[in-house]
Amino acid sequence: GSLRGQDPGPQPLELKEVFRLFQMQYNRSYPNPAEHARRLDIFAQNLANAQRLQEEDLGTAEFGVTQFSDLTEEEFVQLYGNRVAGEALGVSRKVGSEEWGHS
């Protein structure tokens, strides 16, 4: 049973209910209605991302609502990611020095 053609995904009311449950489970509150609406949009986008991951995963993993579901990818990486090792080490640059004229 794939979701494709069978389950259209959360509908608006359903989505709000799922979001409300998420807020309860992870003790999330937002300072004003505008922020609440913005986080709801992000939450919906994240559910879509999770669904895409689920469809493309070749293993047995399950993706869905987590404690990070109200964060954008950028916020998530900023808050919970790390420096990208390859960039910091310079390993993505060409090895060798132009001054020496050979690699």
Partner 1 sequence: VPSTCDWRKAGAISPVRNQQHCNCCWAIAAAGNIEALWAIKFGRSVEAWAHTLSLLAPELIDCDRCGNGCKGGFVWDAFLTVLNNSGLASEKDYPFDGSGKTHRCLAEKHKKVAWIQDFITLQAFEQSAGRMGTRAGTVAPDSASLPLQHYQKGVIQATPTTCDPVQVNHCVLLVGFGKTKSVEGRQGKAASFGSYSRPRHSMAYWTLQNSWGTHWGEKGYFRLHRGSNTCGITRFPVTARVDKPNKRQQVSCPP
Should residue 53 be labelled a site residue for partner 1 when binding is judged by CB under 8 A? yes
Burial of 103: CB neighbours in 10 Å, binned 0-12, 13-18, 19+ = exposed
Q: Which of 14, 45, 55, 96 binds partner 1 (CB under 8 A)?
A: 55
- Which stretch in 29-37, 56-64, 95-103 sits in contact with partner 1 by CB under 8 A? 56-64
- Give the pair of three-digit tokens for residue 49: 């991302």
Task: Considering the complex, state which of residue 35 and residue 52 has its C-beta at the smaller distance from partner 1.
Answer: 52
Closer residue to partner 1 (CB): 34 or 85 = 85
Contact flag: residue 8 with partner 1 (CB under 8 A):
no
DSSP letter (8 states) at residue 47: H
- Distance, in Å, from the CA atom of 97 to the CA atom of 49, rounded to the nearest integer, reads 42
Segment interacting with partner 1, rule: CB under 8 A, options 28-36, 37-45, 84-92, 94-102: 84-92
Cα distance between residue 48 and residue 101, in whole Å: 51
Other Cβ atoms within 10 Å of 94 Cβ, number: 8
DSSP state, residue 27: T
By CB under 8 A, is residue 44 in contact with partner 1?
no
Task: By CB under 8 A, name the binding residues for partner 1.
Answer: 1-3, 6-7, 18, 46, 49-69, 71, 73, 76-77, 79-86, 88
